[in-house]
Structure 1
């Protein structure tokens, strides 16, 4: 590691941009000794360790030295960009799974973050019984429409048929949306798609969003309080005290980029 980087780490200071780029080049070269084209997940593991050990030198910080979001975004982007630049013109495809019109193949990136990408049949169930449950769900939807999603029977049958849902979703070539909608109409309701995502990843998406808003929302609002970028941002900040954090963050970002709030949020009395 360059002496300038060592000195910055020891003194708890941030290296100069040129020195940081040099460190990124060295880091990527070292990573490529073990994996010629490291994935984002592999890079993230390395970057998180660096940020955890040397936050003052490499973490993303606000003007008042508080952690900005997760703290590793900018360094991760630098590392991934360097990897892509080094591999440009080589034999490494940007997408690891080659999917021509005649050949489809699942790559490792398809399963990232999934804990149940293609689960087995539930105990005491067969392909026939699971298919019967799917048909029953279609029948309920035909009779009651999307409102049937509130029935406990629908919730239970959707959980029971999760393995079949994944089998249909994972088919190669991939199924079209209308085909999936005809087979799994309830999967296109908010309640069921959230439940499906939680079964797939063990992540409660709504809870995760709430936690992210708590973690990152405060940093975003504090940034704009310190550096309001236009009059609309100032107007939003003046009313933020009366709004929930999530709405305040959305309003601030849309005001910053000059977007019309009504294009995303439906306001009612």
Structure 2
């Protein structure tokens, strides 16, 4: 395993640790690679978790390493080798921009942090003791770090900042790692990475606000169409983050504009009469038309409420969100409740303020009355509102119980 890891790192030094471990685990456990020599049999499709240029680099290097160890090459394999080489060149050419980003990000691996410029009292002392610095000291560290990084590389990239954030958290995990009650959140360095990115954006912000936009990266063109491609590229707000199905290409199989309109009418009728059967299936089937109305037609909220009433109710909203992001909200909430629910309830019981004690007592009464644990979720929400000094009426509609 360590030999595989070193082989990959030698070719892709900027590959972040989580992805590196994923590749090593996949090669060793899923494909069956046992030694470094076995890597010559790995195919491009075996590295689907990597970006195209990264996979091409690994395949090209492992293939070349294998050919060097051979004493002769059979003539009938020459054409195959030429085709492989041509494919690798085309792959690298089509991803030239990404390759440039990788090269530009390599400096981050050897970057020396300017610890001497940070405040000893407000930051360095906390780091030495394994304590978390206060927010102003952390922001000051980010400001100085960004200023120093800008001297090395004016055009920062997310890969470089990811490497830097990971190195800082790895060196001082107790001071910077993202965690809640001992549980690491995300990668553990997401918040620091976000601070670095936002600081860079603020420093490099243009007066016309174009820094809040990103170039579409899906415009591919041959050399002869390059000028036309540049003209056709438009600035687009970066509002697709986290989406796996932002705008479907076409109707689902077997669906037409007429069939979608009919199903849309059925959904309106079901909502009018309070019928919920088959709503999930209908909302999933008409997802393409929903996105047309939301993205291309840019319908207002009030108009969407008329055209797609179930989008604003739990059942339809959950279906739409799953199609958009691939995440099942209900399943996600259940998992969070199972893992964090007991910790939250214990935290509520440990609080000493009067209002929190009232919430805990009401929770016990509600559980006794209903005979199950369903009131716990509502109680936890009320506890959070109380902790943030928010009124329950801002989230719940309070009514008097009639006898």
Q: Among residues 104, 110, 113, which one is paired with 2:242 in the alignment?
A: 113
Alpha-carbon distance in 1 for matches of 2:164, 2:317: 32
1:163 aligns with 2:288: yes
Partner deviation per Cα, 1:99-151 (whole Å, 9 max, x = no partner): xxxxxx772522111000111225644xxx43222221243245443556633
Q: Among residues 253, 260, 265, which one is paired with 1:134 in the alignment?
A: 260
What corresponds to 2:378 in structure 1?
247
1:236 aligns with 2:236: no
Shift of residue 179, structure 1, vs aligned partner:
3.2
2:345/2:380 contact within 8 Å kept: yes
Q: Secondary structure at the match of 1:107?
A: strand
Where in structure 2 are there 5+ consecutive unaligned residues?
A: 1-112, 215-233, 368-372
Shift of residue 194, structure 1, vs aligned partner:
0.9
Shift of residue 169, structure 1, vs aligned partner:
1.3
Q: Among residues 58, 64, 70, which one is paired with 2:176 in the alignment?
A: 58
Instruction: Provide the aligned length of Structure 1 versus Structure 2.
Output: 252
What corresponds to 2:317 in structure 1?
193
Distance 1:200 1:143, change over 3 A: closer
Distance 1:20 1:185, change over 3 A: closer
Give the TM-score normalised by structure 1: 0.67
Alignment RMSD? 4.5
2:178/2:184 contact within 8 Å kept: yes
Distance 1:144 1:67, change over 3 A: closer
Equivalent residues in 2 for 1:171-210 (5 A)?
A: 171=296, 174-210=298-334
Distance 1:208 1:89, change over 3 A: same
Partner deviation per Cα, 1:158-188 (whole Å, 9 max, x = no partner): 322222221221116x221243344434433
Larger radius of gyration: 2
What corresponds to 1:86 in structure 2?
203
Partner deviation per Cα, 1:78-98 (whole Å, 9 max, x = no partner): 44553454346755557437x
Distance 1:167 1:221, change over 3 A: same
1:134/1:184 contact within 8 Å kept: no
1:149/1:155 contact within 8 Å kept: no
Partner deviation per Cα, 1:51-103 (whole Å, 9 max, x = no partner): 577431213567xx635866667646644553454346755557437xxxxxx
What corresponds to 1:14 in structure 2?
131
What corresponds to 2:146 in structure 1?
28
Give the TM-score normalised by structure 2: 0.48
Where in structure 1 are there 5+ consecutive unaligned residues?
A: 98-104
Question: Looking at both structures, which has the greater relative contact order when contacts are Cα pairs under 8 Å and sequence separation is at least 6?
Answer: 1
2:205/2:211 contact within 8 Å kept: no
